Structure 1
Amino acid sequence: MTVAMGTEGIIDRYVNFYTDFAFKKLFGTEMNKDLLISFLNALLQGREVVLDVNYLNTEHLGTQEYDRRAVFDVYCKNDKGEVFLVEMQKGEQQFFKDRSIYYSTFAIREQAPRGEWNYELKGVYTIGILNFCFDKEREGNYYHEVKLMDTTTKEVFYDKLVFIYLEMPKFTKQENELESLFDKWLYVIRNLAALMERPRVLQEKVFTHLFEAAEIAKFSRVERYEYEESLKAYRDWFSVMTTAELRGEERGEERGFKKGEEKGLKEGLEKGRLEERLRNARGLKARGVDADIIAQVTGLSEDDILGL
C-alpha cells in the first residue's frame, strides 16, 4: 500500500506504471526497449512480429503555422519501418479519439520523402493504454481495435492505419486466470505498484528485466526524485478527478431529489384536482343534471360521470 508523501520516501517496492516517469522509463528508453518489444508482440498476437525498435523524436511541430505541437509518450519505428505511437492516458478527455487521429497524422506525413514519391505508406499503429472506460455499456470488452472499414461490405478498407485502445479498469483477471503473454502484460501494467514480489506466474525472462527496472530501491537519487515528483502529480490528478466525480454524483442526487419532489407535488395537485372534479360531478348528478352538461362543467368524460 502506498502512503501520502512528498519527497520523504516511498514504501512501495515497484513503480506505478501509470505515472509518466515509470511509463517512459519502462517503455521509452533504449536500455529497456526489450520490454516494449515484448509488449507490442503480445498485443499484436502474431499478426506482426517486432524484432527491434528505433526510438524517434517524441516532440513534433506541425508543418503549418496553425498546427499545434504534439508530444508523444513513446514514438518508435520497428525493423520494417512501421510506426508505433504508444500513449498512456490517465483520464478521459472529451476529444481523446480526435487526439488519437491527430497524432497519427504526424506519423503519416513524416513518411513523405523529398522528391518523387508513389505514396506508399508503412503501417501506423496508435496504441492507447487507458486508465478509464470510454465504452461503459460493454463491461468485459477491454480491447478495441479500429481500422478503416467499408460500411456496406463490413470489410477492412485500409489495414495500415490501426488504433488499439485498452480499457485497463475492465481488465480484472487475477493471477491464477492469466493465460497469454498479453494477459500477463496487462496484469503487470495494472497491478505493478501493488506488488511486493514478482508473481510466480510471470516466469518469462522479460518480466525478470521488468521487475528489476521497476524496483524503486535501485533508482539513482535523481531517478528517485523524478519518480516522486511524477507520483505526486499522478496523485494530485487522481484526487482532482475523484473529487470532481463525487461532486458530480452529489449534484446529480440533488437534482434527482428536487426533481422527485417536484414530480410528487405535481402528482399530488393533479390527484387533488381530480377528486374535486369528481365531488362536483357527484353533486350535480344527484341534482339530476344531464351527463353532457356535467362533462362540460367538470372536464370529465361522460363515461366517468355515468360510472359515478
Structure 2
Amino acid sequence: MNPLTDFGFKKIFGEEPNKDILISFLNEMLPERHTIQDLQYSRNEKLGKTEVDRKAIFDLYCTSTTGERFIVELQKAKQNYFKDRSVYYSSFLIQEQAKKGDWDFRLEAVYTIGILDFVFDEHKNEEDYYHIVELKDHRDEVFFDKLKYIYIELPKFKKQEKELETNFDKWLYVFRHLAELDKRPAKLRDRIFEKLFEVAKIGNFTAPEQEAYEDSLKYYRDIKNIADTSHQEGKEEGREEGREEGREEGLKEGLKEGLQKGLELGSEKQQIETVLSMHKIGLEIKMIVQVTGLAGDRIIKILNENKA
C-alpha cells in the first residue's frame, strides 16, 4: 500500500489498534523530554470561535498522556502558503488550552509535523531534508521551546536499503518505497515495522477497504501528475518568456529582468493550468484551495474565464 495516499496514511497511522506505529514514528523526531508513552486521537476538525472564523482540518491530531499536542500532516503537492497554513493550524492547538477562571497561561508543547512529497522552493538547492523550526531571539537562542514545526522533504531522501543507519532513516525509506516492496527488507525486521507491513498488505483489506484505497490511489496519482506537469510547463514557458524579454532589451541586465518576468508569467499560467486540470477530474473548489493555496475567489475567476 502506498503510505502517501490519504487512505494509506490514515490506515497505518490513524487507527487506534495501530497507534503504537504512530508513537514509534513521532518519537524518532521528538526530544527525550517529550518522549511519548501513550496518546489518544482527537477530532481532526477545529472550528473558530465565531461563524466567520475559518475551520482547520488536520490529517491527524493527537495528544500524549503528558499533554503534548501533535498535528501530523501529509502534503502531496506544493502549496503556495503551506508554512502559513501550518502556523494557522497550530494556533488552534494553542487556543484550546485556555482555561476558564483563574489561569496562569501555562501551555503544553505543540508540534506540527509536515511530511512533504515535494521540496520547498527556497530549499531546492540544499541537501537537508529534515527541518526543525523554533521561535528564537536575536542571539539565535530558543525563546520558546514549546512550539515546533518539523518538515520532512521526502523527495530529497535518496538512501537505499544498505545505507539505512538509524530508525529515522528506516521510516523515511518506508515512506519512499513501501509501495514498491513485495517483501520486508532485512533492515526492517524490527517489531514495529513487522506490524506496519502487516497493516499495509492490500490482500488483508476488506472489499470496501480495497475500493477506498483504489480511489485514494487514483486521487494521489492525479494530483501528482497535475503537479509534475504544471510545474514543468511553467518552468519551460517562463524560460521562453524570459529569453524573449531579454532579447528585446539586448543587454545583460535586461536578460536578467526578462527571465524573472518570464518566470512570473509562467507561474501565472501554471496556476491556471493546475486549477483547470483539477476541476476537470472532478475536484471541488475547497479541495483545489487546499492543494494549491490559491484563494477561493481566484479559483472561481479562473474557472469562469475558461469555461468551455
Secondary structure at the aligned position of 1:91 is classed as coil
- Which ranges of 4 or more aligned residues in structure 1 deviate by more than 4 Å? none
| Deviations, residues 28-82 of structure 1 (Å, cap 9, x unaligned) | 1101101100001112263531111100000111112221111110100011110
Cα distance, 1:167 vs structure 2: 0.8
Inter-partner Cα distance in structure 1 for 2:33 and 2:158: 25
Q: Does 1:145 align with 2:129?
A: no
The letter for the 1-side match of 2:132 is E
Q: Please name the residue that 2:226 is paired with.
A: 240
Partner of residue 88, structure 1: 74
Over 3 Å counting, the alpha-carbon distance change for 1:58 and 1:125 in structure 2 is same
Q: How far is the alpha carbon of 1:173 from its aligned partner? A: 1.0
TM-score (norm 2): 0.78
Structure 2 residue 49 is the aligned partner of structure 1 residue 63: yes
Which has the greater radius of gyration? 1
Match of 1:142, as an amino acid? Answer: Y
Counterparts of 1:66 and 1:195, CA distance in 2:
47
The answer to whether 1:75 aligns with 2:54 is no
Look up the SS of the partner of 2:118 in the other structure: coil
2:209, 2:23 → 1: CA distance?
23
Q: Distance in 2 between matches of 1:33 and 1:146?
A: 25
What is the TM-score when the length of structure 1 is the normalising length? 0.78
- Structure 2 residue aligned with 1:209: 195
Ranges in structure 1 where 5+ consecutive residues have no aligned partner: 1-14, 268-308
* AA in 2 matched with 1:199: P
Contact preservation (8 Å) 1:139, 1:170: no
Tell me if the contact between 2:131 and 2:151 (Cα under 8 Å) persists in the aligned partners. yes
Q: State the match for 1:180 in structure 2.
A: 166
Structure 2: gaps of 5 or more residues: 253-308
* SS of residue matched to 1:159: strand
> Aligned with 1:126: secondary structure?
strand
The number of residue pairs the alignment matches comes to 251
User: What is the CA–CA distance in structure 1 between the aligned matches of 2:181 and 2:241, rounded to whole Å?
Assistant: 41
8 Å Cα contact 1:124/1:162 also seen in 2: yes
Query: What secondary structure is seen at the aligned counterpart in 1 of 2:28?
Result: helix
**Amino acid across the alignment from 1:140:** E
Greater relative contact order, per chain length (Cα 8 Å cut-off, separation 6+): 1
Q: Deviations over 1:127-152 (max 9, x none)?
A: 0001111133543101111111112x
The alpha-carbon deviation at position 257 of structure 1 amounts to 4.3
Mapped to 2, the partners of 1:118 and 1:257 lie a distance apart of 60
For 1:52, which of 23, 38, 62 is the aligned residue?
Answer: 38
Equivalent position amino acid for 1:117 in 2: W
In 1, Cα distance between the equivalents of 2:140 and 2:239? Answer: 42
Give 1:115's match in structure 2, choosing from 101, 105, 112.
Answer: 101
Contact 2:34 2:68 in 1 (8 A): no
